[in-house]
Chains A and B, each alone.
Chain A
Amino acid sequence: MAELRLKFIEKVYDRKVRVLAGITMDIADGEFLVLVGPSGCGKSTLLRCIAGLEEISDGELYIDGKLVNRLPPKDRDIAMVFQSYALYPHMKVRDNMAFSLSVRGMPKDEIEKRVAQAAEQLGLTNLLDRFPRQLSGGQRQRVAMGRAIVRDPKVFLFDEPLSNLDAALRVQMRIELKKLHQRLKTTMIYVTHDQIEAMTLADRIAVLNGGLLQQLGTPAELYESPANRFVAGFIGSPSMNFLHGVFKRGERPSVAGPGFEFFLPADYAKIEGMPDEVTVGVRPHQLDPLGKRHGTAQAKVEVLEPIGWDTHMHCLLGDTPVVAQVPSEHIRGLKAGQDVTFSVFESDVHLFHPQSGYAIRPGQPVRAE
């Protein structure tokens, strides 16, 4: 268990390619932090820098108050679970899990005890004498976790561990991971590109894009108060709808564009430096077709995707495609090609600066770049 501090971590390859452009964050002891972002955003690189598999070009990394930039991986007291499991194919499960302990010269009976314990926790007791090639994907993943658990490290690092599993297994393993964290209470840093995994597992999420930290916060914070357009569009599935509109001051501030007009909370009128044109964001399930909310948006239904309890409505609002997630019973009888009018609560409307992408909210300065 340990806290980590990252200060302006930079990673440059060949003096040209800057994969990490200065990441600063603090990770609390026992926290489950998820690094999430699209491909190439630098999340795996950051994880490897924390592990010590990559050298940090600039900046400082502290584990439990100790500067570890120069320390090799084995001295950082961390354990890592790889995307491809990286099990030693020529060793049995038992030996895979025992390897790190035998390297450190732990006495044999102590090793056996720890291995048995971890195997029990993960349901691997019957598989201890098998070779990795004789195991299924999920079993291999658990062995990889077992290998990390026996180490009893300060920090667990996970590099997209569930990507190679099928959908059903992924859900199951997610739950197991969460239970593991609850039991061990160790600091865990988890990398994924899947934002659902991020939302369900994390205590806090760090969203990365282009080597920069976009936002660090709890799943709720990221969902409800995204710091910029990227985070807003990344978190939430189906993703937030974006429209272009013009801001109107007044007692009841609103934002309007072709085919829609949404109202905003009153304190939006007091924001200084509000640009005339703004990007408007509304989440799919916040669009209500029954006219029970405020504001209007006229759209034409193109495709209806029932997904059980809800239906995804793919519509065209003006020229912009939008998606609405609506309880199926609210739109019985609605067919593709028909017109529909949506309404939205004031508090559900997000504004973003059209150039910088930063969110515009009352009480915080408008950032134009």
Chain B
Amino acid sequence: MMCNCKHGSAIMRTLALSALILYLLCVNAYAAEELTLWHSYRGDEKLALEEAVRSFNASHPELQVAPLAVPHEAYANKLTSAIPRGHGPDVFIFAHERLGDWSRAGLLAPVTLEEKELERYYKSARDALTYEGKFWGLPLALKSAALYYNPRLVPIPPKDTDEMLKIMREISRPEQGVYGLAYEAGSFYFHAAWLFGFGGYIFNDKNEAELNAPANIRSVEFVQSMMKERLIPEEPNAALVAQLFNEGRAGMVINGPWFAGEISKDVSYDIVPLPIVSATGQPAAPFLTVEAIFMSSKAKDRDNAFEFMCYLADDAAGLRATTGRQAVALTQPLLPSGKQIDPLAARFLLQAPYTVAMPNHPLMRAVWEPAAQALRKVMRGAAEPTDAMNRAQLQLRVLTRPAPPEKSPSPYIALLLLIIVALIVWLLVWMKRHEGWRDMRRAGTAYAYLLPAALSMILLLFLPFIVGTAVAFFSHHEGEFTFVGIANFVSILTSSDYAVNDPLSFYFTLVVTVLWTAANVFLHVTLGMALALMLRHKWLKLRGVYRVLLIVPWAVPNYITALIWKGMFHKQFGAINAFLAWFGVEPVSWFSHFWTSFAANVATNTWLGFPFMMVVTLGALQAIPADLEEAAEIDGAGPVRRFFSVTLPLLKPALLPAVILGSVWTFNMFNIIYLVSGGEPEGSTEILITEAYRWAFTRQEQYGYAAAYATLIFVALLIYSNGTRILMKEKT
């Protein structure tokens, strides 16, 4: 019945439109519930996770999970900085080891599960996620090392270490680079299997670290004996282990599930649990890492978060065990129809009962460095196990030094304000005296043009600098910053914790840094200049080709250079020792002694840095008029005299800034030291900048101490560059 057709249809249209709008609004509002999930999965695990998330989202239209893959390196740091500020995820996947730190820092929310739910997970997984009586996340997967073996070399895998040693003695032929067992023996992570197998422990009953417990020492002696019999390769690293196994030169490898992805297709392998330690009758028990999904304390909706966590840990376990190839923590996952648990995962599950959960003790992270140093020292034959572990224990105690007492910031702030006021007053007076205001008004537009650049400089340069320097006045401990005044500086400069000739002392490192800089700059300049002079000669054919080739070292990214050179300095498989062997020189253990390790660093950095000096010299040489050298030639000067009396003095004005730049860069050359020698032996080849890095990131995050180091580096370089500038002025 259409009464009033026109009006009627208008009303209908309006009603329909409003209904549509209302519906859209409701739908949007309805779909607004989002849950952010962070993870650092790659490969199969990532595929399985994404599939799980997809099916969860499909079945939960009102709750959408948004996963975000975070690169692994800075993942932990990102979490610790983002969560407290509310920018972090609602839930995230991580290994359990930081649990202690994070729960004390208030980053996590505990979860509660009924007893019978809990029992569906492996005990070791549950234990790993327990801290101070509470349960902190849902376990997803178990990761540990196990024993890989090549059936062609090792038909029957060993049940205990006596059998293992027997097999190793049969197989190993060190002159040909064939070994019964290859694994990263210098890494504490892998050594832990032997440590626990010998009945050792890291933290004693009083919950203190005790690296030099007798059983620990015996485990190190065990590895030392294998080393002495040349049954395991020297200076093993991950790349070497993989290479040996892939070339069929390693019978057995101790490694984790990730290693399977590095094995080439034509190498057959199988995996069994690690053997029993014959001396104790206990199984070698590697570290167990439990990967779990945690809830952020700042999660928007805890119930929703928990719902997804349960889904992923429980319902999606089957998917993760098959597509994701994970050794899931759920004892009986529900598998997708027709699929079996991934064989790789199944093998590692066999090891799971014989593992020790990585301690979530806050001090655990400080253990790695001293323990690894001790192991490597023993492996090189530079120390006996007892001494090495004792020193590691000592180092640990020193590295976890208590924070300096808190001070009141008032006097410092007062001083700062005073300085700022003085600066402003001085600036105003200066402006007045030099008619700066008038100049500024006149050049108004010029200043406007400068403004963007000035702003970016302030934001990118000055602000971080000021913040960095300010941090040096604080001490950072477990997420909290306390003001300590100049205590950090005092402790560094007075070397209160270490003797001056201990590698950890500021002065030791300073001397090494200065030596490092001087040696490099000298070699760069000499080599660069020599090559530039040689490239000048017209009779040298293919000059252009040489020039390009000689620039290449500079063009290659320097961390690649560093890694390649490090490989070349490997004692057993490195190119340098192979080359020296031609001349009958015994293989040198480059990183066992300070001077050889230092030389390795210098060699690498020289290779990297001479092109710069060469290019500068080439340019400066063009500016020298040719007839000056001809006049010198006619005057009777030979090539050497010509160089020193004519060429060099004229090169100086160009070289001097290059040398200053080069020395500042070398002083702070992090990559080479960190990647080539890594500070070996025992941190003696560290330079100031790498030392500062370690204080910040490997020694309990002592940011304040590290910032003080950085500030001191800045001051040192400031003095140096100004000093040379003044010297330059005097000369000319």
Interface residues of A (CB under 8 A from B): 51-53, 72-74, 78-80, 82-84, 86-90, 99-100, 103-104, 147, 151
The stretch among B455-463, B606-614, B633-641 that forms the contact with chain A is B633-641
Q: How far is the CA of A51 from the CA of B636 in the complex (A)?
A: 12
B646 lies within 8 A of chain A by Cβ: yes
Task: Pick from A79, A87, A89: contact of B634, CB below 8 A.
Answer: A79
Bound-state CA distance A83–B638 (Å) is: 23
The answer to whether B650 touches A89, judged by C-beta atoms less than 8 angstroms apart, is: yes
Question: Are B633 and A100 in touch, CB under 8 angstroms?
Answer: no
Complex Cα–Cα for A59 and B635 (A): 25
B645 contacts partner chain A, Cβ-Cβ < 8 Å: yes
Distance in angstroms from B129 CB to nearest chain A CB is 74
A51: chain B residues at CB < 8 Å are 634
Which of chain B's residues have a CB closer than 8 A to the CB of A87?
A: 631
Residues of B within 8 A of A99 (CB): 632, 635, 637, 645
Does B627 have its Cβ within 8 Å of any Cβ on chain A?
A: yes
**Looking at the complex, which one of A72, A83, A104 makes contact with B633 (CB distance below 8 Å)?**
A72
Query: Contact between B649 and A73 (Cβ–Cβ < 8 Å)?
Result: no
Q: Is B20 an interface residue (CB 8 A)?
A: no
Q: Which residue of A lies closest to B653 (CB)?
A: A90
Q: Which residues of B contact A151 (CB under 8 A)?
A: 635
Q: Is B279 an interface residue (CB 8 A)?
A: no
Whether B627 and A86, one on each chain, are in contact in the complex, defined by CB atoms closer than 8 angstroms, is yes
> Is the C-beta of B350 less than 8 angstroms from some C-beta in chain A?
no
Instruction: Give the complex CA separation of A104 and B649 in angstroms.
Output: 20
Interface residues on B, range: 10 to 19
A73 touches B625 (CB 8 A): no
Complex: A74 Cα to B634 Cα, angstroms: 5
- B651: shortest Cβ distance to chain A, in Å? 11
Q: Which residue of B631, B636, B637, B645 contacts A86 across the interface (Cβ within 8 Å)?
A: B631
Q: Is the CB of B635 within 8 A of A103?
A: yes
CA distance A86 to B631 in the complex (A): 7
- Please tell me if the beta carbons of A74 and B637 are within 8 angstroms of each other in the complex: yes
Q: Show 7 residue pairs from A and B whose CB-CB distance is below 8 angstroms, ordered by the A residue.
A: A51-B634, A72-B633, A84-B627, A99-B637, A100-B635, A100-B637, A147-B635
If the complex has contacts A99-B645, A103-B641, are A86 and B625 also in contact, measured as CB distance less than 8 A? yes
From the candidates B635, B645, B649, B650, name the one contacting A74 in the complex (CB within 8 A). B635
Tell me the dominant secondary structure on chain B's binding face: helix
Additional pairs, 13, CB under 8 Å, beyond known A87-B631, A90-B650? A51-B634, A72-B633, A74-B635, A82-B630, A84-B625, A86-B625, A86-B627, A86-B630, A88-B645, A89-B650, A99-B637, A104-B636, A147-B635
A103 x B649 contact (CB < 8 A):
no
B628 within 8 A of A: yes
**A78 cross-chain contacts in B, Cβ below 8 A:** 634
Q: Which residues of A contact B636 (CB under 8 A)?
A: 74, 100, 103-104
CA gap between A90 and B645 in the complex, in Å: 9
B638: chain A residues within 8 A (beta carbon): 74
Nearest chain A CB to B730's CB is how many angstroms away?
Answer: 15
A128 to B641 Cα, complex, angstroms: 23
Query: Closest approach, in angstroms, between the C-beta of B408 and any C-beta of chain A?
Result: 58
A90 touches B649 (CB 8 A): yes
Q: B624's closest neighbor in chain A, by CB?
A: A89
B interface list, Cβ under 8 A from A? 625, 627-628, 630-638, 641, 645-646, 649-650
Query: How far in angstroms is the closest Cβ of chain A from B604?
Result: 36
Give min CB distance, B213 to chain A, whole Å: 69
Contacts across chains A and B counted by CB atoms under 8 Å: 57
Complex: chain B residue closest to A48, CB-CB:
B630
In the bound complex, what is the Cα–Cα distance between A99 and B650 (angstroms)? 16
Q: For residue A105, which residue of chain B has the nearest CB?
A: B636
Find the A residue at minimum CB distance from B641: A103
By beta carbon, the residue of chain B nearest A157 is B634
Residues of B within 8 A of A103 (CB): 635-637, 641, 645
Tell me the nearest residue of chain A to B636, going by C-beta.
A74
Q: Is the CB of B634 within 8 A of A73?
A: yes
Q: Are B625 and A53 in contact (CB under 8 A)?
A: no
Least CB distance from A347 to B in Å reads 46
8 closest A-B pairs by CB? A100-B635, A74-B636, A86-B631, A86-B627, A90-B649, A103-B636, A73-B634, A82-B627
Q: Is the CB of A73 within 8 A of B633?
A: yes
Residue of A nearest to B627 (CB): A86
Task: Determine the distance from Cα of A88 to Cα of B637 in the docked complex, in whole angstroms.
Answer: 13
How far apart are the CA atoms of A178 and B649 in the complex, in Å? 36
Partner of A80, one of B631, B637, B645: B631
Closest to A100 in B: B635
A344 to B483, CA, bound (A): 109
B630 touches A53 (CB 8 A): yes
- Which of A74, A86, A147 has its CB near the most chain B CB atoms (within 10 A)? A86
CB distance from B252 to the nearest CB of A (A): 67
Q: Name the residue among B625, B635, B649 with the largest chain A CB count within 10 angstroms.
A: B635
Q: Which of A72, A82, A90 contacts B631 (CB 8 A)?
A: A82
Q: Measured between C-beta atoms, what is the minimum distance from A102 to chain B in Å?
A: 9
Q: B residues within 8 A CB of A147?
A: 631, 635
- For A79, what are the chain B residues with a Cβ–Cβ distance below 8 Å? 634
Report the Cα distance A338→B591, complex, angstroms.
101
* Closest partner residue, chain A, to B652 (CB atom): A90
**In the complex, which residues of chain A have a beta carbon less than 8 angstroms from the beta carbon of B649?**
90
Given A86-B627, A88-B646, A103-B641, answer yes or no on A53-B633 (Cβ-Cβ < 8 Å): yes
Expressed in whole angstroms, the minimum distance between the Cβ of B96 and any Cβ of chain A is 69
With a cutoff of 8 Å between Cβ atoms, the chain B residues found around residue A52 in the complex are 634
Q: Which residue of the partner chain B has the closest CB to A104?
A: B636
Closest CB of chain A to B349's CB: distance in Å? 78
Contacts of B645 in A (CB 8 A): 88, 99, 103
CA distance A89 to B632 in the complex (A): 12
B625: chain A residues at CB < 8 Å are 84, 86
Question: Which residue among B630, B632, B634 has the maximum number of chain A CB atoms within 10 Å of its CB?
Answer: B634
Please tell me if the beta carbons of B633 and A88 are within 8 angstroms of each other in the complex: no
In the complex, chain B residues whose CB is within 8 Å of the CB of A100: 634-637
CB distance from A186 to the nearest CB of B (A): 15
Least distance between A295 CB and chain B CB atoms (Å): 52
A78 to B637 CA separation, bound complex (whole angstroms): 13
Nearest-Cβ distance from residue B536 to partner chain A, whole angstroms? 16
Contacts of B633 in A (CB 8 A): 53, 72-74
Inside 8 A of B632's CB, which chain A residues have their CB?
88, 99
Q: Pick the most buried of B631, B636, B641, B649: most chain A CB atoms within 10 A of its CB.
A: B631
Contact status B634-A80, CB under 8 Å: yes
- Knowing A73-B634, A100-B635, the reply to whether A86 touches B641 (Cβ < 8 A) is no
Q: How far is the CB of B728 from chain A (nearest CB, A)?
A: 14
Q: Check A88–B634 contact: CB distance below 8 A.
A: no
By beta carbon, the residue of chain B nearest A51 is B634
Q: Name which residue of chain B comes closest to A74, CB basis.
A: B636
Task: Determine if A86 and B650 form an interchain contact, defined as CB atoms under 8 angstroms apart.
Answer: no
Cα separation A79 to B634 with both chains bound (whole Å):
7
B389 to chain A, nearest CB (A): 62
